[in-house]
Amino acid sequence: MSGDSIEVDTVLKACGDQHRRIVLAVLADQQRSVTLNELTMMIVKYNHHTPLSEASDEELTQIKSSLYHVHLPKLEDTGVIEYDPKQRLVKPTAQFDQLQPHLSALIDADPDLEIPVEL
C-alpha cells in the first residue's frame, strides 16, 4: 500500500458492514476519539432506528459485543482506527483521512442506511 493512497480492498473491508460505516461516519463527524458506548448509541439510533430509551439491555449488549469482537478489530486491521480495549476508546489514524471521500460515497449509495452525519 502506498503512503498517499488507500487501496480499494481496504475501503471495501472497512465499509463492508453498516455498523462499520456508522463508526467511520461518527469518527469523521466528531474529529476526535469516541467511546464504545457512544458508538453503541449511534448504531441504535441510526441503524436500528430506535430511540435509545426504547433499546433493550440485550440489544445494547449485542451491539456492543459485535463492535468489540468483530467490527472494531476489522477496522483496526485495515489501519483506519486504533482501538484501546482497556479504555474502550476508538480513534482515527492518519490513514482514516484517506478513507473519508470513499466513505461518503458508500454511505450515500446505501439505500437502507439513514445517514447519521453529514460528511
Select from 17, 26, 11 the least CA-distant residue to 90.
26
2: confidence class by pLDDT, cuts 50, 70, 90: very low
**Euclidean distance between CA atoms 69 and 73, whole angstroms:** 7
pLDDT tens-digit profile of 45-98? Answer: 887 777 888 999 999 999 999 999 999 999 999 999 999 999 999 999 988 988
Select from 87, 93, 74, 92 the least CA-distant residue to 37.
87
Backbone Cα Rg of the chain: 14
For residue 89, the tally of other CB atoms under 10 A from its CB is 14
Q: Which CATH number does 8-109 carry?
A: 1.10.10
